[in-house]
Amino acid sequence: MTKNSLFPVIAASALAFSLAACGSDDGGSDDSGSGGEAGAAEMELITEGTLTVCSEVPYEPFEMEDSSTESGYSGFDIDLMQAIADGLELELEVKDSSFDALESGLALNSGDCDVAASAMTITEDRQENLAFSEGYYDSQQSLLVPEDSDIASIEDLAGARVAVQQSTTGEAYAQENAADATITAFPGNPEMFQAIQAGQVDAILQDLPVNVENARQGGFMIVEEYSTDEQYGFAMQQDNTGLVEAVNEQLSALRDSGDYDTIYDTYFSAEG
């Protein structure tokens, strides 16, 4: 589904450094250090022995509360992060965060978390402030409307009220392709879905998997899908090269073992 990059030597080094940072007596390793030239492959963590992940919750099927799991959360992103943490022999802690704080880099740069995992598209603008893993999911945009709506395509949105999520590629797509619509940005999918249920907006333009979940609630349908060549990536601080390498190594291992496909099919097999 996405291109794999293998870093066998670098990743092994990153893993060794990560275990040292989590309690070995390998003096001189400090997981709160700046990661200079000598520590280029050192995996820095804000809490020893723990991979701390920030996500905007809920955003089904990527992240949702789940009391049956050890972290208290599940979803495609969270399950992948749990598998990555397991591979690195780390505990997983998940924190709820606003998407604005994630995509701007604020949550990472302020030390709230090690990784932002929140269905975040890799873009050139975001790469100015963030380092991304390899792409782990190919996404599309989509248009959701009530089942009795006259809207059948993006061309029918002139004068319509369209909900988008703020600071997302869906918002940018709507602004570029539905300029004659009244576009309203909401904090997240729950607010958008409540608005369309209440008749406050006529359509939602956002990531396809999330609109699929909305349509499953009944009374709504997806009328169009848009291929935008988007890939989601896990975001980290730019200078935390060791963690980026370690995450990429774990993603490759999950693909090679078939565990990635198992997690993927749990959430997306119904999409075909």
Q: What is the pLDDT of residues 225-268, one digit of tens each?
A: 999 999 999 999 999 999 999 999 999 999 999 999 999 999 98
Residue 117: closest CA among 48, 207, 56: 56
Determine if the peptide bond prior to 58 is cis (ω within 30°): yes
Q: Does domain 140-228 sit in CATH 3.10.20.740?
A: no
Phi, psi of 220 (to 5 degrees): -135, 155
> With contact defined as beta carbons under 8 Å apart, do 35 and 243 qualify?
no
Work out the percent of the chain whose per-residue pLDDT is above 70: 84
pTM across the whole model:
0.76
Task: Find the DSSP H helices in 95-240.
Answer: 99-103, 106-109, 124-127, 169-177, 189-197, 208-215
Eight-class DSSP state of 121: B
Beta carbons of 113 and 97 less than 8 angstroms apart: yes
Q: At residue 206, does pLDDT exceed 80?
A: yes
Kindly report, residue by residue over 113-154, the tens digit of the pLDDT. 999 999 999 999 999 999 999 999 999 999 999 999 999 999
Provide the b/e sequence for 125-139 (b: ≥16 CB within 10 Å): ebeeebbbbbbbbeb
Looking at per-residue pLDDT, the higher value among 25 and 161 belongs to: 161
Give me the mean pLDDT over the 98-105 stretch. 94
SS3 47: strand
Indicate the angle between helix axes 8-21 and 241-257, nearest 10 degrees. Answer: 120
For residues 38-59, one letter each, b for 16 or more C-beta atoms within 10 angstroms of the residue's C-beta and e for the rest, the string is ebebbbbbebeeebbbbbbbbb
The pLDDT value given to residue 269: 73
Q: How many CB atoms lie within 10 A of CB 177?
A: 14
Tell me what pLDDT residue 29 has: 36
Model pLDDT, residue 168:
94
Residue of 54, 164, 175, 67 whose CA lies nearest to 120: 54
Nearest to 132 by CA among 117, 151, 112, 143: 117
Q: What's the pLDDT score for residue 41?
A: 53
Angle in degrees, 0-180, between the axes of helices 76-87 and 241-257, rounded to the nearest 10: 100
The strand pair at 73-74 and 182-186 is best described as unpaired
C-alpha neighbours within 13 Å on the C-beta side of residue 181:
26
CATH of 8-136+233-271, one of 3.40.50.2000, 3.40.50.720, 3.30.70.870, 3.40.190.10: 3.40.190.10
Domain ranges of the chain: 8-136+233-271, 140-228
